[in-house]
Structure 1
Amino acid sequence: MTIHSEYDVAIVGFGPSGAVAAALLGQAGLRTLVIDRTDEVYPKPRAIALDHEIMRVFQNLGLADAIAPFCEPFTPSEYYGVDGQLIKRLATVEPPYPLGHTPSMVFTQPPVEAALRRHVRALPTVDVKLGLRFTGLEQDDDTVTLFLEDGDGARSKVRARYAIGCDGASSAVREALGIALEDLQFDEPWLVVDVQVNERGLAKLPATSVQFCEPARPCTYVIGPGNHRRWEISLLPGEDPAHMATEEGAWSVLQRWIGRDDATLWRQASYRFHALVAKEWRRGRAFIAGDAAHQQPPFLGQGMCQGVRDVANLAWKLRAVLGGEAGAEAGEALLDTYAAERREHVRQLTTRIKEIGGVICERDVAKARARDAALLDAAGGQVRTQARQDIIPPLSTGLLDGENANAGTGKLFPQPRVQGPAGAALLDDIAGTGWRVVTDLPIDQLPAGLLPAAAGLGMLVSLPAGEESFTSGPHRMQTGELDGVVAGWLARHGVRAAVVRPDHYVYGVAGDGASLFALVAALTYKLK
């Protein structure tokens, strides 16, 4: 098997995280290798949920239209307590959607993963080599060497300037790097059953997704795309996980809702749901991402989303370093922010997911009844719908402006529909995905020095109120947004502008043109 000896980045693992990493790096023209032990996409569903942040990444890759047919809006999730009463409700926000896509979606993983792989294979600077097992690595000051073995036992090695381990929960890369996992104290045995339900069965099932917060057996019901339905069912003391993962075991618990004449089993598997976060995410020139770096309970459907966030964060930083946009010293500091940002974000979100799990998994009847009463009391006796996306935290550390405290810093910046050169368009499609300086101030009201400073950083985007035309020049554009998404965001945070990173997180904000100029100048200096 012939493998080029030198790459910019070598990726171990061709699941969703590894494929997105390869796509982002290949899109930037970086010489990339991605390997995996398996030759084919796993044919059954594992992840079932994604959100608008992830769909925005797919959009930026030119894949939104290829992936959309396998996605549907996530139905509301209703939580029912001990006595069958509604105690909590999660749903999505109403349009206009802040990132330009449905905020919460369910999807069918195999065809989405296949679309990702086809896209990666078509990139001219990416090599895909399957049927290869990673066996170890060595590093020096300039490169990392990966040792590989094929199915016949033939060994090879490859050198790259950086490596990323996206090789799953039992990551061989993580083990080779000697990185330990921190246990966030969640360990529960569950059965996950995916079912394709016929019309007769669908008529028996709830119209929304449901969390049955019942002490006797907590369980989750998720409405997937089409006739796909998923149950996540807690296992009781004494139940054999291996037996429960058989057809007989699965039907023994599904019979509460449907019978064998109502559906076909698609997949059933027993798991221990964990809350684990890697203590380190980088060792020298090697990084870990996705399930290799963290595992969380599935109660908010964030497992795959977290992995894509990881590689979206890391990819633009590797691009900046390998492309020479960041100087040597600044580049090392920039790469270090990957671990700082993602580890803390994952810890915070996993803690929130654990809290949701605590609501669902209470086994003591008296405590569960007290839980129900407390949730209803906190809601004033009437359950209010909470937006799922409100649970996801902003970035709180890393490459963020620390000089001017504002609640907008570290948040995802919205993606509005705007007037484009050929009609309505999503902002990223015409402004690109590099650094962006976005303001509601007209360009002719900005300090003269800001224009070259913004051009040196990336793209200046002006969205003045009432603007109806589209004009553009080198590294700048002025147009009007169609739904007031950015105007509302700026107003809520009391600012006139935001500096937005390539991964769409807000580096910092400014209240006027002069402070925006100072913010851009300080950032430019920091990156050099």
Structure 2
Amino acid sequence: MSGSISANEYQVAIVGFGPSGAVAASLLGAQGIRTLAVDRDRLVYDKPRAIALDHEILRLFDNLGIAGQLAPHIGPFPASEHFGAHGQLIRRIDMVSEPYPLGYTPTMVFTQPPVEEILRAHARSYPSVVVELGTELRRLDQTPDGVTLELCGEHGTRNVSADYVIACDGASSLVRRQLGIGFDDLVFDEPWLVVDLRVNASGIAKLPRTAAQFCDPSRPTTYIVGPGSHRRFEIMLLPDEDPRAMEQPEQVWRLLARWLTPDDATLWRAASYRFHALVASKWREGRVFLAGDAAHQQPPFIGQGMCQGVRDVANLVWKLARVLDGESGAALLDTYQEERSAHVRELTTRIKAIGHVICERDPEAAAARDVRILAEGGGMPRTITRQEIVPPLSCGLRADVPHAASGTLFPQPWLVTSRGRQLLDATCGVGWRLVLRGDSALARSRAIAARAAEMGLRLIAIADADQDQGPDVMREESGVVTDWFTRHACAAAIVRPDHYVYGVAADEAGLAAMLSDLAAKLR
């Protein structure tokens, strides 16, 4: 792809080569887009920071062809049991049950340093991607035709030019500050200590077998079961405690004494943070886009921090590719902020609400909270899923006809193929897709097939495995898509390259109108 002519050296420059920047570089490289990625740090930080990802993000990694490489460093995220002020179980947050809607374990834990190394190496593997580490951005200047970046690296200071810039340069983003973009404060500010451990067999035997939130008003604490021997505690700090002093090993072991002694584990990292809920007031300034922590920060209570940044670049890159290739006008890029800002704000608000429940310090209020949460489950601890906490896209590039399915993630079934059992994306590829219910009249419509081909949409028809609908119909293993069509009372779904549903239709007239509307919007 990307044969557009530009006077600039690069079509896209990425500032920051952490997880979001590395994924952005791979997505751009997969499209053949001339890309420069820079980072002032030469090496991946050798201690874990992010610890959770979900099936949407693993689906993207699988689309890039690296899920197998990442597998040794990833494990399932078990249910998180929430214990009230008196140690009683008040609720669980778990994952949805099988058959999994996207084909993967819905929530996972991972160890960041090796995963980040794999993400970086994969980005470097694309011929169109240049990576320069130990290179710092000094300033950038925009013109109507591009962006000039002043870079300082091992060969001194130089200027490079790019059509567009993606700033993935972290919470203290120089790009955001140079652009004068501030944060909207969603009002959450709490001091916590994050402790990562490598736990031996004696320690593992002492710890809870599942993740836990200890909603104890005297000291709220989160416990996470990481891959292998990796365990994490997130411990709320009290008003009179010095965050830096609490990072010292003697203080860390004092806080962990309820669970472990130094004989049970090796201290890997202890770092104090203020958990914030912040969203950039603008995500785009001309040809420069913010992504990842440069655009938002949220409390970590359902492990969505890195996921949010990867969603940002997955949303942005396919739009940039269309604009750079002349397939769409630059107005398409306006939907990036519209979609991602609304999504991040909604999800952060939901995470913040969970955080307020966990962080309650008043004993009477905590007791009332426990009674209320148990009442919500009819007097018993109820289970909610992490997947219902993550919202759909509520605005942006969606069909004009309102429907509950629009903006949701389209499911990914396991298919029965001549090559054996395969996931939908591996069998059919990615990009814009028109997915039809295999036993519907739409699957037999030549007019719809012709229109989809004209628009460059990959046409996919799916039916249950026990239905023989002809050679052009894919057969799914567990009825995931068939059930989805039934639940949403439709027979067709237009699916975007980032796997979000543009819109659905029940008949040929409705689908034809929606395809025409989409063609106009993409132009």
| TM-score for the superposition, normalised by structure 1 | 0.95
Cα separation, 2, equivalents of 1:29 and 1:468: 39
Native 8 Å contact 1:417 1:426 kept in 2:
yes
Contact 1:421 / 1:470 at 8 angstroms: preserved in 2? no
How far apart in 1 are the matches of 2:189 and 2:520? 46
Cα 1:470/1:388, change in 2 over 3 Å: farther
The aligned residue for residue 377 of structure 2 is: 379
SS of equivalent to 1:94: coil
- The residue type paired with residue 447 of structure 2 is G
The residue number in structure 2 matching 1:135 is 138
Q: Is the 8 A contact 2:442 2:508 kept in 1?
A: no
- Per mean C-alpha deviation after superposition, the further-off stretch among 445-454 and 287-296 is 445-454
Q: Deviations over 1:248-284 (max 9, x none)?
A: 2211201111001110000110000000000100000
Matches of 2:389 and 2:147 in 1, distance apart? 38
CA distance in 2, matches of 1:401, 1:212: 43
Preserved CA contact (<8 Å) 1:190 1:272? yes
CA 1:516–1:5 in 2, change beyond 3 Å: closer, same or farther? closer
Other-structure match for 2:313: 311
Map Cα deviations across residues 198-249 of structure 1 (whole Å, 9 max, x no partner): 1111111111111000110101000000111000000011111011111122
What's the counterpart of residue 148 of structure 1?
151
Residues 165, 496 of structure 1: alpha-carbon distance in 2 compared, 3 angstrom cutoff: same
Mapped pair 1:485 → 2:480 = yes
Displacement after TM superposition at 1:514 (Å): 2.5
Q: 1:39 to 1:470 in 2, by over 3 A?
A: farther
Q: 1:182 to 1:205 in 2, by over 3 A?
A: same
Q: 5+ unaligned residues in a row in structure 1: which ranges? A: 472-476
Look up the equivalent residue of 1:358 and give its one-letter code: H
Residue matched to 1:474: none
* Partner of residue 88 from structure 2, selected from 76, 85, 90: 85
Cα drift, residue 420 of structure 1: 3.0
Q: Who is 1:460 aligned against?
A: 459
Map of 2:21 onto structure 1: 18
Q: Deviations over 1:75-128 (max 9, x none)?
A: 110000011111110111121110011000000111111111111111110000
| Aligned twin of 1:215 | 217
> Partner of 1:277: helix, strand, or coil?
strand
Whole-Å separation in 2 of the counterparts to 1:441 and 1:95: 23
Query: What is the letter of the counterpart of residue 501 of structure 2?
Result: V
Matched, 1:517 2:512: yes
1:214, 1:288 → 2: CA distance? 37
1:125-151 deviation digits (Å, cap 9, x = unpaired): 000001011111111111111111125
Match of 1:356 in 2: 354
* Residue from 418, 428, 434 that aligns with 2:415: 418
2:59–2:102 Cα contact (<8 Å) kept: yes
Could you list the per-position Cα deviations for residues 158-200 of structure 1 after superposition, in whole angstroms to 9, with x for gaps in the alignment?
A: 1111000000000011111111110000000000000001111
SS of residue paired to 1:203: helix
Equivalent position of 1:290 in the other structure: 292
1:282-320 per-residue CA deviation (whole Å, 9 max, x = no partner) reads 000000100000000000100000000000000110111
Q: Partner amino acid for 1:463?
A: I
Superposition RMSD in Å: 1.4
Q: Are 1:69 and 2:72 counterparts?
A: yes
Q: Secondary structure at the match of 1:127?
A: strand
SS at match of 2:463: coil
1:195–1:264 CA contact under 8 A, matched in 2: yes
What is the identity, as a one-letter code, of the residue corresponding to 2:108? M
**TM superposition score normalised by structure 2:** 0.96
Post-superposition shift, 1:448?
2.7
- How far apart are the structure 2 equivalents of 1:312 and 1:467? 35
Provide the residue aligned with 1:401 in structure 2.
399
Out of 419, 427, 431, the residue aligned to residue 428 of structure 2 is 431
Superposed, 1:106-185 pairs within 5 Å as 106-150=109-153, 154-185=156-187
Q: Which moved more, 1:241-250 or 1:104-113?
A: 241-250
Cα deviation for residue 423 of structure 1 reads: 2.1
Q: Give me the identity figure in percent.
A: 57
How much has 1:524 moved relative to structure 2?
1.2
Q: 1:141 to 1:467 in 2, by over 3 A?
A: farther
Counterpart CA distance in 2 for 1:116 and 1:421 is 31
Change (3 A) 1:517 1:352: same
Aligned counterparts of 1:488 and 1:216: Cα–Cα separation in 2: 47
Does residue 262 of structure 2 align to residue 264 of structure 1?
no
Equivalent position amino acid for 2:460 in 1: V
Partner residue in 1 for 2:190? 188
Structure 1, 137-146 or 349-358: larger mean CA deviation = 137-146
Instruction: Classify 1:71/1:445 alpha carbon distance in 2 versus 1 (closer, same or farther; 3 Å).
Output: closer
Tell me the equivalent position of 2:242. 240
Letter in 1 for 2:272: S
1:104 matches 2:101: no
Q: Which amino acid aligns with 2:286?
A: G
Please list every run of 5 or more consecutive structure 2 residues that lacks an aligned counterpart in the other structure: 1-6
Q: What CA distance in whole angstroms lies between the structure 1 residues aligned with 2:180 and 2:504?
A: 39
Q: Which amino acid aligns with 1:210?
A: A
The alignment partner of 1:35 has SS state of: strand
For 2:507 and 2:252, the matched residues in 1 are separated by 60
Quick check: 439-448 or 333-342, which moved more?
A: 439-448
- Give, in angstroms, the shift of residue 467 of structure 1: 3.9
Deviation at 1:7?
A: 0.5
Whole-Å Cα distance in 2 between the matches of residues 420 and 21 of structure 1?
31
State the Cα deviation string for residues 314-336 of structure 1 (Å, max 9, x = none). Answer: 0110111112221xxxx222100
Instruction: Report SS of the residue matched to 2:446.
Output: coil
Is residue 2:495 matched to residue 1:500? Answer: yes
Conserved 8 A contact 1:447-1:514: no
User: Does structure 2 conserve the Cα–Cα contact (< 8 Å) formed by 1:76 and 1:208?
Assistant: yes
Residues of 2 paired with 1:459 and 1:445: CA distance?
13
